């Protein structure tokens, strides 16, 4: 059984892009592997953020993860800043990380371009990611294509540290998502809350329909009589995440033969989404009404994560030659 590590930023409520792109897979993985899932608040502060909203968004993300089926009895779920070893290992790893590699990271270059003053934390983001994974000696990291470069750097950091101080960290490998990427409802950009092109996972059936109704479809379907290609339609990609196989077959056939209009198709999708999401929405509401319970679950997760992380750090400090604290 491999150990899996994966993190998600505390962006508040989950949307269907997060769910279909990553979290649905997490729920599956927890039944197959030893999983460590983390709300990465320390990563979130490398971009402009609101301190007053950070704690609530972190808790909201935890509520979302628990509501969709992350089971604390199966997987460790915790908040990154609750386990201080993440920042400690991050620092140790910066000392073996080549600056040139950090500067070459595409995500750094993209994000840095958009900021007037570039914080060093943004440059070191992939080192903190390496610390996240290596602390737990995780060997499998579910990633999208855009994270592959960071994963390669993570492996390089592990190799460099191991070469200098002795083999401690296994080199993690990527579990590349095979799911077709869901675009925003505009059919143009990645689904993202800041672009306003998402559907929140716990929205009401009415709100889901309001957002789905105008969503972009295959541009070939200019009129009701024009046949379409479901593989060119983002609505069909969302169907794939929510509708059962026989519905998918029916949708594809109706689309290709212009047997129905896009609005009919979206109606069926809305029904599939509501069927999947309604129980999650109920669980999310119950959890949100009991924040103390959520905080307790996160504290238990942090204690379990901290036990593993503490063990790794003791060994890392010893190999690097630090003087142990008396009684430590």
- Point out the residues that are catalytic: 111, 190, 193
Three-state secondary structure call for residue 142 = strand
- Side-chain-side CA neighbours of 179 within 13 Å: the count stands at 25
> Rounded to an integer, what distance in angstroms lies between the CA atom of residue 40 and that of residue 256?
43
Which of 63/215 has CB closer to ligand SF4? Answer: 215
Shortest distance, position 16 Cβ to ligand SF4, whole Å: 15
Shortest distance, position 251 Cβ to ligand SF4, whole Å: 6
Which of 77/251 has CB closer to ligand SF4? Answer: 251
* Contacting residue, 265, 287, 308, 313, with ligand SF4 by CB under 6 A: 265
* Contacting residue, 76, 255, 294, 316, with ligand SF4 by CB under 6 A: 255
- Region from 14-22, 86-94, 183-191, 260-268 binding ligand SF4, contact rule CB under 6 A: 260-268
Which of 133/233 has CB closer to ligand SF4? Answer: 233
> Rounded to an integer, what distance in angstroms lies between the CA atom of residue 322 and that of residue 308?
20
* Contacting residue, 13, 34, 203, 218, with ligand SF4 by CB under 6 A: 218
- Is residue 236 a contact residue for ligand SF4 (CB under 6 A)? yes
- Is residue 217 a contact residue for ligand SF4 (CB under 6 A)? yes
Q: Which DSSP letter does residue 195 get?
A: G
- Is residue 228 a contact residue for ligand SF4 (CB under 6 A)? yes
Among 257, 281, 118, 126, residue whose Cα is nearest residue 199: 281
Which of 68/265 has CB closer to ligand SF4? Answer: 265
Q: What angle do CA 138, 68, 280 make, to 5 degrees?
A: 175
CB 94 within 8 Å of CB 320: no
Which of 202/236 has CB closer to ligand SF4? Answer: 236
Shortest distance, position 278 Cβ to ligand SF4, whole Å: 22
- Is residue 211 a contact residue for ligand SF4 (CB under 6 A)? no
- Is residue 233 a contact residue for ligand SF4 (CB under 6 A)? yes
Site for ligand SF4 in 17-56 (CB under 6 A): none
Shortest distance, position 281 Cβ to ligand SF4, whole Å: 24
- Is residue 262 a contact residue for ligand SF4 (CB under 6 A)? yes
CB 8 within 8 Å of CB 58: no
- Region from 32-40, 203-211, 259-267, 310-318 binding ligand SF4, contact rule CB under 6 A: 259-267
- Is residue 221 a contact residue for ligand SF4 (CB under 6 A)? yes
Write down the residue that tokens 């290609």 correspond to: 229
| Other C-beta atoms lying within 10 Å of the C-beta of residue 110 | 10
3-state SS of the chain: helix, strand, coil percent to 5? 60, 10, 35
Could you tell me the CA-to-CA distances from 4 to 103, 132, 323 in Å, in that order?
A: 27, 11, 32
Write down the residue that tokens 């504290």 correspond to: 299
- Is residue 235 a contact residue for ligand SF4 (CB under 6 A)? yes
| Other C-beta atoms lying within 10 Å of the C-beta of residue 328 | 7
- Please state whether beta strands 3-8 and 34-39 pair in parallel, antiparallel, or not at all (unpaired): parallel
Which of 15/266 has CB closer to ligand SF4? Answer: 266
Site for ligand SF4 in 309-328 (CB under 6 A): none
Sheet strand arrangement including 76-79:
76-79, 34-39, 3-8, 140-143, 173-176
- Interface ranges with ligand SF4 (CB under 6 A): 217-218, 221, 228, 230, 233, 235-236, 251, 255, 262, 265-266
């Amino acid at each position: 059984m491999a150990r899996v590590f994966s993190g998600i930023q505390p962006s508040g409520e989950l949307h269907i892009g997060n769910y279909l792109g990553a979290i649905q897979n997490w729920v599956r993985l927890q039944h197959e592997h030893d999983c460590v899932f983390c709300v990465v608040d320390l990563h979130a502060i490398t971009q402009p953020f609101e301190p007053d909203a950070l704690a609530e968004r972190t808790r909201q993300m935890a509520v979302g993860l628990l509501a969709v089926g992350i089971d604390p009895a199966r997987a460790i779920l915790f908040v990154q800043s609750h386990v201080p070893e993440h920042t400690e290992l991050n620092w140790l790893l910066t000392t073996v990380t080549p600056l040139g590699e950090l500067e070459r990271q595409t995500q750094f270059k993209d994000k840095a371009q958009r900021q007037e003053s570039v914080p060093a934390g943004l440059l070191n983001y992939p080192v903190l990611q390496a610390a996240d994974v290596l602390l737990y000696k995780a060997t499998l990291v579910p990633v999208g294509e855009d994270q592959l470069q960071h994963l390669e750097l993570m492996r390089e950091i592990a190799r460099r540290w191991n070469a200098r101080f002795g083999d401690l960290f296994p080199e993690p490998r990527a579990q590349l998502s095979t799911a077709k990427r869901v675009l925003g409802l505009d059919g143009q950009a990645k689904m993202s809350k800041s672009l306003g092109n998402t559907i929140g996972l716990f929205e009401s059936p009415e709100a889901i329909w309001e957002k789905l109704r105008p969503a972009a479809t295959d541009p070939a379907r200019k009129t009701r009589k024009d046949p379409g290609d479901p593989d060119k339609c983002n609505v069909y990609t969302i169907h794939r995440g929510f509708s059962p196989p026989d519905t998918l077959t029916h949708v594809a056939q109706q689309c290709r033969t212009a047997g129905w209009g896009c609005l009919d198709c979206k109606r069926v999708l809305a029904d599939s989404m509501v069927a999947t999401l309604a129980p999650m929405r109920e669980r999310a509401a119950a959890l949100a009404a009991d924040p103390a319970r959520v905080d307790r679950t996160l504290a238990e997760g942090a204690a379990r994560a901290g036990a593993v992380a503490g063990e790794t750090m003791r060994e890392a400090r010893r190999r690097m030659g630090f003087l142990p604290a008396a009684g430590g």
